[in-house]
Amino acid sequence: MPKFRRVSRSARVLVPAAVSVVLLAGCAGASEGTGTAGASAPTGSSPAVPPPGAPASGGPTVPGASARPVSGSLLVADFGADTVTFVDPAKGATGSVRVGTAPYGLVVGGDGRAWVATAEGVAVVDTLTRQRLALVPYETDSGPVTTGEYRGGGMGIALAPDGRRVYVGVNVPGGNGVLEVVDTTALRVTDTVPVGRRPFDVDVSRDGREVYATNHDSFDVTVVTAGTLESRRVEVAPYGTEGGLGSWLKPHYAAVRPSDGKLLLPFEGERLAVVDPRTGRTVIEPMTADTHQHGAVVTADGTLFAVGTGPIDPAEDRGPSLTVRKPDGTERVYPLEGPHEDVAVSADGRTAYVTGGFTRDGYWDGLSVVDLASGDTRRLPAGSRPLGVVIL
């Protein structure tokens, strides 16, 4: 069994300037410069006017939701643009749809509608007709609409199993975030729940009874009961909370394990935090990639896929990678070229698609396509700084 590295806590929290120049994967809380993309974020409950090329929504009801998207294609959220891009895994990008400023996470329902968390609101896209149907503004004032890593607005997003509600984590720069609940028929925000700082990821239990917001800058997960909207905080800090906003050792993404509903949160390619959301108890298991980790997804058989973005300390840590962890804890690590952010897995379990967008500097405009049997990897140009990815 691999051992956890024993390193100076301060070395992992306060990165020396010389190291930070070559660092590709840190997540400290100091704000980077952002460019203003528009006026203050819209408030209220009416869908905003669609951009040129998209149909007018004509009110809160989506007209003519599509039947099914094209099977096997991909959809990525272009954090470096105002679009989502459709991707043919064999050929690359096949078209884009304008959705709103700096889209982050996205999710697709069985009706073919994609829900995209942008800085302005939740965009609704028909993936068959490739049109934006509506933009649902947030109830929360998250400040001016900007771009960049620390921009306000939607981050993680998830869809209830019955398709009736979308849950989106809204970042409020300088303070705690909010989980907003969107009614997918009325297309409006119906409820808001306070959560922690910078809700990177949002997940829903398999039975739809609980929602989990993974809060990067407060070292925790907010567990929300879907029916009553009661919430409780579960600290997830396998390295401790020393360094606060300046720490690199914070949670990013979670995945819900199908077998028992526990949350899997990878840290640094060293530690997997297995969190029981009902009791708040966390068990730590060893990992082997030794790289800063972001995106995580679990398949129906319980296999965890975790994206390694690159080293915190290049003298000690390994480079970008994709970890595939079986339910018995055995791992295979696939080296990748350059930083990556999130991952999706094909329905047959043979191929992984890893986005190169990345939330920090060092991102690139495309996907890494990983053949999980052979280990062969190829780069596929796709989108503009793509973060979230789903398979249609």
Amino acid at 232: R
298-328 CB burial, b ≥16 within 10 A, e <16 = beeebebbbbbbbbbbeeebbbbbbbbbeee
* Helix (H/G/I), strand (E/B), else coil: 85: strand
Q: Is residue 156 part of a domain?
A: yes
Q: Is residue 14 part of a domain?
A: no
Question: What per-residue confidence (pLDDT) applies to 72?
Answer: 87
Question: What per-residue confidence (pLDDT) applies to 70?
Answer: 64
Q: Is residue 23 part of a domain?
A: no
Q: Are 302 and 321 in contact (CB under 8 A)?
A: no
Question: What per-residue confidence (pLDDT) applies to 196?
Answer: 98
Give the H or E element holding residue 20: helix 17-22
Give the H or E element holding residue 107: strand 106-108
Q: What is the pTM of this model?
A: 0.86
Domain total in the chain = 1
Q: Is residue 283 part of a domain?
A: yes
Task: Quote the domain boundaries for residue 61.
Answer: 40-391
Q: Is residue 9 part of a domain?
A: no
Q: List the chain pLDDT tens, one digit each, 392 residues.
A: 443 443 433 344 433 333 333 333 346 554 333 333 333 333 333 344 343 333 333 333 334 444 455 678 999 999 999 999 999 999 999 999 999 999 999 999 999 999 999 999 999 999 999 999 999 999 999 999 999 999 999 999 999 999 999 999 999 999 999 999 999 999 999 999 999 999 999 999 999 999 999 999 999 999 999 999 999 999 999 999 999 999 999 999 999 999 999 999 999 999 999 999 999 999 999 999 999 999 999 999 999 999 999 999 999 999 999 999 999 999 999 999 999 999 999 999 999 999 999 998 899 999 999 999 999 999 999 999 999 999 99
Q: Is residue 31 part of a domain?
A: no
Q: Is residue 1 part of a domain?
A: no
3-class SS letters over 186-236: CCEEEEEEECCCCEEEEEECCCCCEEEEEEHHHCEEEEEECCCCCEEEEEC
Gap between the Cα atoms of 100 and 379, Å rounded: 27
Q: Is residue 165 part of a domain?
A: yes
Q: Are 120 and 38 in contact (CB under 8 A)?
A: yes
* Helix (H/G/I), strand (E/B), else coil: 329: coil
Which CATH number covers residue 172?
2.130.10.10
Amino acid at 191: D
Question: What per-residue confidence (pLDDT) applies to 7?
Answer: 42
